[in-house]
């Protein structure tokens, strides 16, 4: 896989999952939604998933 394509896929996944979790939390941070910790976990898990998925590039 080309390094540029791998970078695109990794960045796309990071933005999709990380910012998606932030959108889900929205203005209700502190309520019963995912919260700040859930947003942080979403960013972290996106990085780990892409490292395992396309890390050999």
pLDDT at 26: 72
Q: Is the pLDDT of residue 57 over 80?
A: no
Domain ranges within the chain, ordered by starting residue: 3-54
Q: Confirm if 10 and 20 have CB atoms less than 8 A apart.
A: no
What's the CA gap between 40 and 49, in Å, rounded?
A: 14
What's the CA gap between 9 and 30, in Å, rounded?
A: 32
What is the tens place of the pLDDT at every residue in 1-52? 688 888 898 889 989 988 888 888 777 656 666 778 888 888 999 889 888 8
């Amino acid at each position: 896989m080309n390094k540029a394509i791998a970078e695109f896929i990794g960045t796309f996944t990071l933005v999709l999952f990380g910012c998606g979790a932030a959108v889900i939390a929205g203005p209700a941070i502190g309520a019963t939604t995912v919260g700040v910790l859930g947003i942080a976990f979403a960013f972290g898990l996106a990085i780990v998933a892409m490292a395992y998925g396309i890390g050999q590039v």
